[in-house]
Amino acid sequence: MSDWLKLLLLGILSIVFGIIVLGAPIIASVAITTLAGFMLLIGGGVQVVGGFTVEGAGNKILSILMGLIMVFLGWSFLKNPLEGTLTLATVIMILFIAGGIARIILSFQMRGTQFFWPTLISGVLSLALAGYIFANASVGLALSLLGILLGIEMLFNGFGLIFTALFVKSGENELKQA
């Protein structure tokens, strides 16, 4: 099977899964939270164990403490996945705010260049999205937010893979003609 065909099939598969995720965003959100819970548990456990090998009492305590916090968050996400999903949605909103503010500040440092407006608009859109999430902070939106974002990303990824496949195929055709 040629490379472009593999990319094409992966792109189609990603789009199909993206549509499925968008059809059941709350289930996808809870699945993301559960996966994050497992990852936090494992990562926290490794952090705690690794903390005992760190040099210096302060570093050792900090490392073990951070590991314990990760274990607690992981256990909390697994024990209460709906509340964990709300927590992750809140974290995403905060990240949108922080990223938006950072890009707006950065855009003013780019004033007079071709990058000013795209960077400024990107920052404003992030703040607008965070505002939308905050204004509609109902449990339904928060519970479905992670799934919606995952579904959209899967669609974008699928289209990107399809376009890449077509680009690779056109390159192969040009090589054959040469």
User: Could you tell me the two tokens for 165?
Assistant: 């496949």
Q: What stretches of 24-56 show up as alpha helix (H) in DSSP? A: 25-51
Q: Tell me the per-residue pLDDT of 29-73, one tens digit each, with 9 for 90 and over.
A: 999 999 999 999 999 999 999 999 988 888 899 999 999 999 999
Q: How confident is the model at residue 174 (pLDDT cuts 50, 70, 90)?
A: confident
Q: Tell me the per-residue pLDDT of 100-115, one tens digit each, with 9 for 90 and over.
A: 999 999 999 999 998 8
Task: Calculate the CA dihedral of residues 118, 123, 124, 126 and round it to 10 degrees.
Answer: 120
Q: Please identify which residue in the block is written with the tokens 């990240």.
A: 95
| Residue 170: Cβ within 10 Å count | 11
Domain ranges within the chain, ordered by starting residue? 3-173
pTM score of the predicted model: 0.72
